């Protein structure tokens, strides 16, 4: 059996201690600080609470018959699960997991989850590609770690670059479902602090295997009775799911957890590792995360994600 490989060890082997050229520190750049200050000022508690899930979310679209990527959806009736589904509960979150916020081409606030991962320059977040693939202007695109109850406990970090596999752009959310992940490089917050230095980060596991008995799933739901929403927390097990949809081929991680409605895309699948939690997936992949709120999916992490990670570390031009 192939053992999961953590990203920190891989980077050390592939790059060596001096082989990486930084993408450029933002802490000494007054323009970058001004950008971070403007993002922090824009994303007030009210604007964050009014944001809607990223438009590509299939759960909400198929439930209402709305279009997904321009294709009209058909209303669906969720199938009852074969076994009891572990419940989720709202909580105050963890520092390494947060939310991307932006405004789309119509000025509507949008959001999607993301997770800070360990990297040489402490500035990388992993999320779902379907959240950030669309070519909208995405104004005020920023990351807010541990967002909850309208709070920004670790500040706001503007986005510098988005790394998505070219095949995902070319094939779309269904045909490219196997590559529904993205690595995002962030600028520093307004005091010059990089995101990982503010929050800590998790390792990434490549080829982590499909069966895990204890997985923690965190996601930010798009509907809540509370004025200011909280993230959801659930513990469950994962298995391998091979798609039966010829339009969305591939093998995916599958996890049962109740209540993961639209908006939870990009949220992490976490397992315990040597240095705390390790990221093994993000909500996305098969049907951009699943057709019902009680079963979620992730694309399988392979060397293709490692390539995106290394491009982000080196500051290479993203695909598009």
Task: Write out the two tokens for 208.
Answer: 């982590």
- Taking the model in full, what pTM does it have? 0.88
pLDDT score, position 136: 73
Cβ-based neighbour number of residue 90 at 10 Å: 16
Residues 38-62: pLDDT tens digits?
999 999 999 999 999 997 554 554 4
Q: Which of 79-83, 215-219, 275-279 has the lowest mean pLDDT?
A: 79-83
Cβ-based neighbour number of residue 238 at 10 Å: 26
Task: Write out the two tokens for 318.
Answer: 């993203």
Closest Cα partner for 153 from 243, 68, 40, 296?
Answer: 40
CA 214 to chain centre: 20
Residues 165-196: pLDDT tens digits?
999 999 999 999 999 999 999 999 999 999 99
Helix (H) or strand (E) holding 58: helix 58-64
Residue found by looking up tokens 């939310």 in the block = 99
Query: Of 227 and 213, which is predicted with more confidence?
Result: 213
pLDDT score, position 68: 38
- Asked if 126 contacts 115 with a C-beta cutoff of 8 angstroms, the reply is yes
Q: Evaluate if residue 249 carries a pLDDT over 70.
A: yes
| Strand 251-256, strand 5-6: pairing | unpaired
Task: Write out the two tokens for 168.
Answer: 């995902």
* Alpha-carbon span 108 to 222, nearest angstrom: 14
Closest Cα partner for 297 from 177, 183, 204, 206?
Answer: 177
- Asked if 314 contacts 144 with a C-beta cutoff of 8 angstroms, the reply is no
Give 134's pLDDT tier (boundaries 50, 70, 90): confident
Q: Which whole number is the average pLDDT over 87-115?
A: 96
3-class DSSP assignment, residue 171: helix
In percent, the amount of the chain with pLDDT more than 90 equals: 74
* Alpha-carbon span 261 to 222, nearest angstrom: 7
**CB proximity list for 319: less than 8 A, separation 6 or greater:** 163, 164, 165, 166, 169
* Alpha-carbon span 46 to 36, nearest angstrom: 19
The full length of the chain comes to 320
* Alpha-carbon span 52 to 102, nearest angstrom: 10
């Amino acid at each position: 059996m192939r053992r999961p490989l953590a990203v920190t060890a891989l980077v050390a082997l592939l790059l060596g201690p001096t082989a990486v050229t930084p993408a450029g520190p933002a802490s000494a750049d007054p323009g970058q600080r001004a950008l971070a200050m403007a993002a922090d000022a824009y994303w007030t508690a009210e604007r964050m609470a009014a944001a809607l899930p990223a438009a590509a979310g299939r759960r909400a679209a198929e439930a209402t018959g709305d279009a997904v990527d321009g294709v009209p959806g058909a209303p669906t009736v969720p199938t009852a699960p074969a076994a009891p589904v572990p419940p989720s509960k709202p909580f105050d979150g963890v520092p390494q997991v947060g939310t991307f916020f932006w405004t789309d081409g119509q000025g509507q606030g949008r959001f999607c989850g993301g997770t800070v991962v360990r990297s040489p320059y402490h500035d990388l977040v992993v999320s779902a590609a379907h959240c950030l693939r669309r070519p909208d202007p995405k104004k005020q695109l920023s990351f807010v770690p541990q967002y909850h109850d309208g709070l920004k406990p670790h500040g706001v970090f503007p986005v510098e670059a988005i790394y998505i596999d070219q095949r995902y752009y070319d094939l779309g959310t269904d045909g490219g479902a196997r590559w529904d992940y993205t690595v995002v490089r962030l600028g520093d917050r307004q005091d010059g602090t990089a995101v990982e230095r503010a929050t800590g980060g998790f390792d990434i596991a490549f080829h982590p295997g499909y069966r895990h008995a204890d997985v923690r799933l965190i996601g930010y739901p798009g509907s809540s009775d509370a004025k200011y929403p909280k993230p959801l927390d659930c513990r469950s097990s994962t298995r391998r799911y091979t798609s039966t949809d010829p339009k969305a081929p591939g093998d995916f991680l599958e996890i049962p957890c109740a209540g993961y409605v639209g908006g939870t895309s990009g949220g992490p699948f976490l397992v315990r590792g040597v240095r705390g939690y390790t990221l093994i997936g993000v909500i996305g992949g098969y049907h951009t995360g699943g057709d019902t709120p009680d079963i979620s999916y992730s694309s399988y992490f392979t060397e293709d994600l490692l390539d995106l990670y290394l491009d982000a570390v080196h500051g290479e031009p993203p695909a598009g």
